[in-house]
């Protein structure tokens, strides 16, 4: 676990954070399949497993997930998808360019 002791409060703070990316493009993933983001430049507390693409919340708390992806539709323009999950409400934005 990645943690630090607070100077002002009598507690230890555990930090869970990760950033992951795809090292190569994927085409036509199967419906329901797990997309494994294999390039992981940040993985504090090792909650994300880059071997199977699964995140495990080892510590109780509030977690926020944000995903940005793009895909080329049949028209030739690109579509960018942005998804944020705050645990309570999902925010989805789609941009065409």
Would you list the domain boundaries of the chain?
1-62, 64-97
- Euclidean distance between CA atoms 26 and 71, whole angstroms: 10
Mean pLDDT (the chain, rounded):
77
Where does the pLDDT of residue 41 fall: very low under 50, low under 70, confident under 90, or very high at 90 and above?
very high
Query: What's the pTM?
Result: 0.69
Mean pLDDT for the stretch of residues 21-27: 85
Q: Return all residues near 37 (Cβ < 8 A) that are at least 6 apart.
A: 20, 21, 22, 50, 53
* CA atoms within 13 A of residue 42's CA, in its CB half-sphere: 5
* CA atoms within 13 A of residue 84's CA, in its CB half-sphere: 4
Q: In this structure, are residues 72 and 81 in contact, taking their beta carbons and an 8 Å threshold?
A: no
pLDDT of residue 61: 79
Q: Which residue has the higher pLDDT, 24 or 73?
A: 24
Q: In this structure, are residues 60 and 50 in contact, taking their beta carbons and an 8 Å threshold?
A: no
């Amino acid at each position: 676990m990645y943690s630090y002791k607070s100077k002002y409060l009598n507690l230890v703070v555990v930090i869970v954070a990760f950033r992951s990316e795809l090292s190569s493009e994927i085409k036509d993933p199967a419906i329901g399949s797990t997309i494994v983001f294999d390039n992981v430049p940040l993985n504090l507390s090792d909650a994300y497993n880059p071997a199977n693409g699964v995140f495990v919340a080892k510590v109780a708390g509030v977690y926020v997930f944000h995903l940005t992806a793009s895909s080329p539709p049949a028209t030739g323009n690109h579509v960018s998808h942005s998804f944020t999950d705050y645990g309570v409400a999902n925010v989805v934005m789609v941009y065409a360019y």
